[in-house]
Amino acid sequence: MTLKLNKLSGFSGRKGPLLLVIMDGVGIGKNDESNAVYMAKTPVLDKLFQSRLYTQLKAHGMAVGLPSDADMGNSEVGHNALGAGRVFAQGAKLVDNSIESGKIFQSDLWEKMVARGLKGGTLHFIGLLSDGNVHSNTAHLYALINECAVRGVRCLRVHALLDGRDVGERSALDYIRPTQALLDKISADKDFDYTIASGGGRMVTTMDRYNADWSVVKRGWDAHVKGIGRKFESAEQAVQTYYDEDPGITDQYMNSFVIVDKKGEPNGLIKDGDAVLDYNFRGDRAIEISRAFEEKEFTEFDRGLLPDVLYAGMMQYDGDLKIPANFLVQPPEIDRTISQYLCAEKVKMFAISETQKYGHVTYFWNGNRSGYIDKSLETYVEIPSDKIEFDKAPKMKAEGITEKTIELLKSGDYRFGRLNFANGDMVGHTGVMQAAITAVETVDSCLDRLLKVVKELNGIAVITADHGNSDEMFTVKNGKKSPKTAHTLNPVPFVIVDSGYADEYHMAKVENPGLSNIAGTLLNLLGYENVDYYDDSLITFD
């Protein structure tokens, strides 16, 4: 496939570099005390939001390929849209469609998994137990469970990872109870053996990402596979006990647990002959546990004896590395990303973030592809994240990212750079208002430094966000405040800072502008025409 960009006739960009700054989780919310972005002291953003080259973009729902506008955006689909220049049907929607059509249950893989259950093996489902629709959805899990019951699978186990992040921070029982009720009903009606076997909070059990902390995966492995962990008679008892012992604990940081039978033995060990499905559809927090199940030469932690199981993912979480080898739903095929075009034009560029969002500015930005498109033209920089709760260090690695970005900009080697400040999202997820305020203020301060360097180099900066989070830190119902740790449905800012601006272009009247309109805008700012099949640029030269 030959890719070619055409140059604009009357604009060739600026002498200096183009820098894209993604303020993860910094949306535009209400101007009240629930909004950490509004409450923070942000002199830089305050000024930018008054610019002639400012607008707001949709970053949720159908604007980023999700099933409906009731679905919050997330970093995965946001960075896909940013890098792809158009909207693709994304994980949740693809799984919805596959279940509704029945296609998911017509594959050879599903037949093989069911066959293991019919031959006396157990079917295990591991995943995030919530309807947040960011990593998973309980509706998908229930459809899988019900199909297993119809097909006559007699033994089924759910390994429930608690959310408290994309849904209410202490909402685990709202998902544990109906799940166990469904399992109990099937067991009673059909004389089957369906129940929850293990679980734990997503930030301490199983769902690590970007190799940040493999001990998280090990805790999940120990609980799900080996039955090692604190033991309880039911998942509800486990959650309630943790709540009672620590009134301040939130679901995402809840320790792992193992459910035992009347003899005190783990009720759901993963053994030879079983089948295991990770029912999460989003890839970043499913890759590591998939590696643990699939890799023969595995050195991240001691797994013990690897059980002979058929392992699969809801989707393939890494298309280049083929992780996992088996999966039920095909991921979106995202081709002709902006980075592919820029590499074809020999444009040198860099991408930088800390570990928590490193994969977003590389893997997701590049259309769910690992590695470089052209290593001779690209530089990827990962700043290691702290391994502590982010409200304890809300500045995270923003200053280190800023220092390295300035170094890269001043080198003169790069025409385009992109970075992600994770603070607004990762700290926003903690639900701690003061920490989120500090996080946003840190980003604002770092942005000030970056903009001064871009101006010094006669370049252009574009500032935006991939979705909201810190812009709504709590909700009020019946006069009571409830912390909000999930992403928001709010729009995100978009502003161009061009020190050489002389009315060569203006903000375009784009209908329902979203993140996918940014790629074409970046091409214009670099002096190229937009690609025909990309969504409209946010600027016009007429």
* Backbone conformation region of residue 264, classed left if phi is above 0, alpha if psi is from -120 to 50, else beta: left
- Return the structure tokens found at 410: 């001043």
Q: Is 102 exposed, middle or buried (0-12, 13-18, 19+ CB in 10 A)?
A: exposed
Q: For tokens 């955006």, what's the residue?
A: 73
| Annotated catalytic residue within 12, 34, 75, 215 | 75
Residue 75 bears catalytic tag: yes
| Torsion (CA) 331, 334, 335, 340 in degrees, nearest 10 | -120
What phi and psi, each to the nearest 5 degrees, are found at residue 482? -125, 120
- If DSSP codes are grouped into helix, strand and coil, which group holds residue 454? helix
Q: Are 297 and 313 in contact (CB under 8 A)?
A: no
- Give CA torsion, residues 530, 534, 539, 542, to 10 deg: 60
Handedness of CA 77, 79, 84, 86 (dihedral sign): positive
Neighbours of 152 (CB within 10 A): 11
Q: Measured between alpha carbons, how far is residue 329 from residues 71, 223, 243, 294, 466 in Å?
A: 20, 27, 36, 18, 25
Cis amide leading into 324 (omega within 30): yes
Residue 308, C-beta contacts closer than 8 angstroms, at least 6 positions apart: 272, 273
Where do we find the tokens 């690590």?
A: 208
Strands 257-259 and 416-421, sheet pairing? unpaired
Give catalytic residues, as residue numbers: 75
